[in-house]
Structure 1
Amino acid sequence: MDNRAIGFMDSGVGGLTVVREALRQLPLESVYFIGDQARLPYGPRSSHEVRHFSEQMAAFLMKKNIKMLVIACNTATSAALEDLKEKFPIPVIGVISPGSRAALKVSRNRRIGVIGTEGTIKSGAYERAILSKDNSVEVFSLACPKFVPLVESNEYDSSIAKKVVAETLQYFDNKDVDTLVLGCTHYPLLRPIIQDVMGPQVRLIDSGAETIGTVSALLDYFDIAKDSAGDQIEDHYYTTASPKSFNQIASQWLEINVKADKTEIDRLSLEDK
């Protein structure tokens, strides 16, 4: 048993979709979350830069004495997962492998779509993860660079969002996919619009939500789940930008009153952990 918190990190508020699932599935566990809003979006950045920023977020959370790290960001997972696994003495989990497994499980016609940031799609991480498990599948990948700004500006339920999503997803009109992976943790906030555009016949896979199943299994495997009789550690939320927008979106999405602290991480490194 281990009563320390689980750390979650993302480029912005998207990782809160993973936290929401953690709060639902793992109510005894405590959460430390950091969103690097000051430097988003991560999607257009080089893998080297994303890896560097990811190491800084990880170093920040390690200073908080977390017991497990969840990279609640597909772009950071594709760029930094293996690096952080090697450098950290705790379990480190990304969101791509759980999402790819879930897509393969539900797809019937073996035609799977993937949407994500430029960085995630360019990396080919989802295609590799899916095809390594079943090379008979056809994967259709699409970068959606306009989606993250919609979420971060709290426009994810607006008429603008509906227009942008509809125009962007026209790519899939003749692809006959029966499954679509939401390959960015921001995208579940756009889920109702995406589902409406794709149609009810297409199954949407929330890679972040799928990840919490892996987290739960690893908590048991390493015997580090929280003891129900242990002291409750308060959840903490951090952002590298102004907390005002973060608090608004987080409070709406998590349905709790979130008051994040602003922090600076641009001078941290793994050596500081």
Structure 2
Amino acid sequence: MTVVREITRQLPNERILYFGDISRCPYGEKDLETVRAYTIQVAEYLVAKDIKMLVIACNTATAAALEILRERLEIPVIGVIGPGARSAIQHSRNGKVLVLATSGTVKSNAYPDAIMRLNQNFEVTSQACPAFVPLVEELRYKDDIVTGIVIHQALKAHMHSDADTVILGCTHYPLLKESIRRYFEGRKAVIDSGYETAREVSSMLNYQKILRPPAGEVTHTILINGDSSRFKYILRDWLPELKYDMKEIELKV
């Protein structure tokens, strides 16, 4: 939903069909083969609903299935790793980057690979932060004391590292962006992949000449695979202004 927030802010005329795989999340601690199967299934389900672009708003799913889906689908497919990697290269002054991500994304080596394809002179360090997702999902990130403890335990080894740029390599982590920035005392640029992904969506839609023209109030569609009750609470907290219709569905591999 952090990616949705940025897309709706930057592209207020676009209608979003969002799929939340609540019953099978989190993806970040699952093996990549399982995540790949889930992601392909969800993509095929959404394409059948006549979408014009697919945004994989999950770093682990992007690492697992982006290239396969680009080969299979006839519509543009955007992941969250490439935009974040390019932004980190633009922001870094010394060529040293720290990636904070789930275990699955770290194991995939997706961010180091994406950065090294563009600039082999960069040095990339990755850190799995498994405690960050439940911190956000359970809305405990609003407690500064709890958040401070969790961030310190995860990042203390990097407090004084040479990396001058940090990539938030999970779409949950932007909710912790300011806390992470403060932890590093402003010495490191913090890259929000959701923000960068929305910029890429905008550029691609414009290039393809498929931007939706202004047409009054926009209502989005949210499909939840599983129980939507907790998701509604999170939506009220994260995106209180979002106009949407929500429906629970059942999708199993």
Which TM bucket (shorter chain)?
over 0.9
C-alpha distance in 2 between matches for 1:201 and 1:111: 13
C-alpha distance in 2 between matches for 1:50 and 1:115: 19
2:59 aligns to what? Answer: 74
C-alpha distance in 1 between matches for 2:206 and 2:106: 32
3-state SS in 2 of match to 1:239: strand
Note if 1:165 corresponds to 2:151: yes
Of 77, 93, 97 in structure 2, the residue corresponding to residue 92 of structure 1 is 77
Note if 1:47 corresponds to 2:32: yes
Percent identical across equivalent pairs?
43
Distance 1:33 1:104, change over 3 A: same
Bigger mean CA offset, 130-139 vs 56-65: 56-65
Gaps of 5+ in 2: none
Contact 1:103/1:181, CA 8 A, preserved across alignment: yes
Note if 1:223 corresponds to 2:223: no
CA RMSD of aligned residues (A): 1.6
3-state SS in 2 of match to 1:249: helix
Contact 1:69/1:90, CA 8 A, preserved across alignment: yes
C-alpha distance in 2 between matches for 1:46 and 1:251: 31
C-alpha distance in 1 between matches for 2:241 and 2:226: 20
TM-score by length of 2: 0.94
Structure 2 counterpart of 1:71, which letter?
Answer: I
C-alpha distance in 2 between matches for 1:60 and 1:163: 40
Q: 1:259 Cα deviation (Å)?
A: 5.8
Note if 1:210 corresponds to 2:196: yes
1:1-273 counterparts in 2 under 5 A? Answer: 16-158=1-143, 159-229=145-215, 234-256=219-241, 260-267=246-253
3-state SS in 2 of match to 1:191: helix
Q: 1:160 Cα deviation (Å)?
A: 2.4
C-alpha distance in 2 between matches for 1:125 and 1:109: 21
Q: What whole-Å deviation, never above 9, does each CA across 1:184-241 have from its counterpart, x for those lacking one?
A: 0010011122112122121110111101111111111111111225x76630112223
TM-score by length of 1: 0.87
Q: Work out the number of aligned pairs and report it.
A: 251
Q: 1:105 Cα deviation (Å)?
A: 0.4
Contact 1:157/1:190, CA 8 A, preserved across alignment: no
C-alpha distance in 1 between matches for 2:64 and 2:196: 20
C-alpha distance in 2 between matches for 1:82 and 1:218: 17
C-alpha distance in 1 between matches for 2:248 and 2:63: 26
Gaps of 5+ in 1: 1-15, 268-273
Bigger mean CA offset, 193-202 vs 232-241: 232-241
Structure 2 counterpart of 1:77, which letter?
Answer: T
